Structure 1
Amino acid sequence: MPTTTRVPQEERTRVMRARLLEATIECLVERGFAGTSTTLVSERAGVSRGAQLHHFPTKNDLVVAAVEHLTEKRGVELVAAADALPDGPRHTRAVLDMLADHFTGAVFAAALELWVAARTDASLLAAVEPLEQRIGRETHRLTVELLGLDESMPGNRELAQATLDLVRGLGLADTITDDSRRRAAILDRWADVLDKELG
């Protein structure tokens, strides 16, 4: 008689929640905040509507949990990309590419939908703002570290922030149309500026 391995309830719940959160992110990217519904998310995740409502009774509950999931995912992606950066003369340009990839990917697009929705939704803003502040601090710290910036030197903190503002703005431009050619030229020039300032 074959033996069956039972998956513990806790593990099944974790997997189901992860599927719901990933489906929420996918819906946000494809349909925007307004086009994302709990019904659509549960269908995409392959989870019953009742199970979804048990864990996330409202759309905002679901989206807020997705924000937290998104924040974790963005952090992991950045650290993994940072670990793969080359050393040498093209290091600065590689850091900029890594940051630009981060701010033009699907995770950024989903986060952008949440920022826009949170602007006019106080409960969503209350969840999004502290998480975005945290990821902003972590991204700033990582940028400073990867560029080898000494923030005690006048102007270096502003260079790091200008770098992040630049790649974030390029990410915004990319949401409307493929901006990769212009982005590459701008990043080439900014890498030259950083190398001169930091050299």
Structure 2
Amino acid sequence: MGAVNAGLVDRVPKQDRSRATRQRLLEAAVACLAEHGWAGSTVSVVAERAGVSRGAAQHHFPTREDLFTAAVEYVAEQRSTALRALFPDGPADRRAVVRALVDLYTGPVFRAALHLWVAASNEDQLRPRVTELEARVGRETHHIAVELLDADESRPGVRETVQGLLDMARGLGLANLLTDDGARRERVVAQWGNILDEVLD
């Protein structure tokens, strides 16, 4: 019995180390994708950035596609959690919600996802995985938006308005890749607050 217990104690730190290594790889993969794009982001580059061997990286993620789709999914989940945490009491001021949703699409996570989408448009084995991932992330973000805006999607036009908000936020994220579009973004956020007031009230 003592040997069994000793084995369990031995295994826990190993599991913790494995989890920590996996997380470092995922975070390094997103950073590499955002900075270097698909062509410059190899498993070796990610492993080096994460401070692990290539073999350790491939133990966790056998293929490059496994690594990068898992990385973008991981960070998307982190962002969803962070978005909910901004509004712990549920539905909130609509302009604050619009601003938070727009913020989801500006920064390194969106940049990494964009590189993955572009790569998927040219890589046959990557395309179905990214398409499925994007559909899942899109559904989750839509669900959070509906919840935070206290939107009743049974009413005409509400679902389309919420989806339009998310499409607009993604468009602002694309514009932000080339120039800092902060001033115009603030005006658009304010206008979308007005639109939501009209449609949701």
**1:157, distance to aligned residue in structure 2 (A):** 0.9
**1:108, distance to aligned residue in structure 2 (A):** 1.4
2:131 equivalent among 106, 129, 141: 129
- Name the CA distance, whole Å, in 1 between partners of 2:65 and 2:57: 13
CA contact (8 A) 2:29 2:41 kept: yes
Partner SS for 2:126: helix
Aligned residues: 192
Partner SS for 2:28: helix
State the partner residue of 1:147.
149
- Name the CA distance, whole Å, in 2 between partners of 1:137 and 1:164: 11
State the partner residue of 1:170.
172
- More helix per residue: 1 or 2? 2
**1:56, distance to aligned residue in structure 2 (A):** 2.7
1:107-150 per-residue CA deviation (whole Å, 9 max, x = no partner) reads: 11111111111112122122222221111111111111222211
CA contact (8 A) 2:69 2:130 kept: yes
Equivalences for residues 97-136 of structure 1 within 5 A: 97-136=99-138
Equivalences for residues 1-199 of structure 1 within 5 A: 8-83=13-88, 87=92, 91-199=93-201
Runs of 4+ in 1 over 6 A off after TM superposition: none
Segments of 5+ residues of structure 2 without an aligned counterpart are 1-8
- Name the CA distance, whole Å, in 1 between partners of 2:178 and 2:126: 24
**1:84, distance to aligned residue in structure 2 (A):** 7.2
- Name the CA distance, whole Å, in 2 between partners of 1:124 and 1:81: 33
- Name the CA distance, whole Å, in 2 between partners of 1:15 and 1:110: 21
Segments of 5+ residues of structure 1 without an aligned counterpart are none
- Name the CA distance, whole Å, in 2 between partners of 1:66 and 1:197: 36
Aligned residues: percent identity? 51
State the partner residue of 2:5.
none
**1:67, distance to aligned residue in structure 2 (A):** 3.1
Partner SS for 2:173: helix
CA contact (8 A) 2:91 2:150 kept: no
- Name the CA distance, whole Å, in 2 between partners of 1:187 and 1:138: 21
Partner SS for 1:128: helix
Q: TM-score, normalised by structure 2?
A: 0.87
Partner SS for 1:131: helix
